[in-house]
Amino acid sequence: MANVVNSTQSFIYDLYNFYQWSQAMADQRTKGWMLVDSPFPTLVYTMIYFLIVWAGPKLMKNRKPFQLTWALVPYNLAMAALNLYIAVELLCASTKLRYNYLCQPVSKLRHPDEIRIASAVWWYYFSKLLEFCDTFFFILRKKDNQLTFLHVYHHSTMFSLWWIGIKWVPSGSTFLPAMANSFIHVLMYTYYGLSAFGPKVARYLWWKKYLTILQLIQFTTAMIMGINGIRSGCDFPLWMQYTLVIYMISFIVLFGNFYIKAYIEKGSKVFEGNSRSQMHVANGYMNGIEHAMLQNGDCKKLH
């Protein structure tokens, strides 16, 4: 028993020392920024998110779905505007600083444009908290088919992982995935904002399929750049590059599976269904002709 107690105390002590060491290694430029200093707010919000994902559909089971057009339109367009701001900030500041897109070490300088990049990365991290509303709207509208593993995994992990980003690497090569993803989110939230107006508008929105393709291109590019950074010895935290590669592989698998089921397999079924319908129509048409000719005594014309 004494050995168990001692082992537990030793583990807690080592864990505390690691926490203190990791805090000392954090980027001091973002110290004191909202939600940054401690991991607990991020963990608490993520746990609340999981709780709502679990309990929300149960609470809505016997209730009518909410329409929420009044909230969906401004929310999605506001998110599009926020992501546009983040992307433009990162693009302008990184261009001024002449950042290298293949490998950019983390600078601890307090140059105004470096702080500008760190600030944009913070907004990107914070936007991942706001994006929890995507899930809450699905629940309130009883779109439970949208609450896939991919959706929940994507939203919950992005918020946590980008806390790591803003805490330890708020500049350097961190800027590129945030910038690319923000540009894609501008298109995505614009799409969702416009589609919330209903079928009359939604039928003109043709680019949903291509958003998934853009995301797959983004994930693949980020994975290749991460592998290249590891191979070339880029002066960027190695653990971050390995994390990036593994994370991107998971996204490629999950989003690739979604694309196959949503567009390739579904498209094949639609094509097959259309072909069968056309055959039924053709058979019906020929049967009608044969029936008419039999009635007119023209049976010989069919043989």
Residue 246 phi, psi dihedral angles, 5° rounding: -65, -45
Residues 6 or more apart whose Cβ sits within 8 Å of residue 106 = 27, 169, 171, 172, 173, 174, 236, 237
**CB distance 136 to 85 below 8 Å:** no
**CA 57, CA 46: separation in Å to the nearest integer?**
18
Per the residue annotation, which of 111, 151, 154, 155 is the catalytic one? 154
185 labelled catalytic: no
Check if the beta carbon of residue 115 is closer than 8 Å to that of residue 29: yes
Q: Residue for token digits 């923000």?
A: 182
C-alpha–C-alpha distance, residues 259 and 62, integer Å:
32
Q: How far, in Å, CA of 71 to CA of 135, rounded?
A: 14
- The tokens for 67 are 């329409």
Q: How far apart are CA 303 and CA 300, in angstroms?
A: 5
**End-to-end Cα distance, the chain:** 96
Q: Is 272 exposed, middle or buried (0-12, 13-18, 19+ CB in 10 A)?
A: exposed
Q: How many CB atoms lie within 10 A of CB 257?
A: 12
H or E element that contains 196: none
Q: Are 185 and 79 in contact (CB under 8 A)?
A: yes
CA dist 237 → 118, 230, 262 (Å): 17, 10, 37
State how far the Cα of 215 lies from the Cα of 186, in Å rounded to an integer.
Answer: 12
Give catalytic residues, as residue numbers. Answer: 154
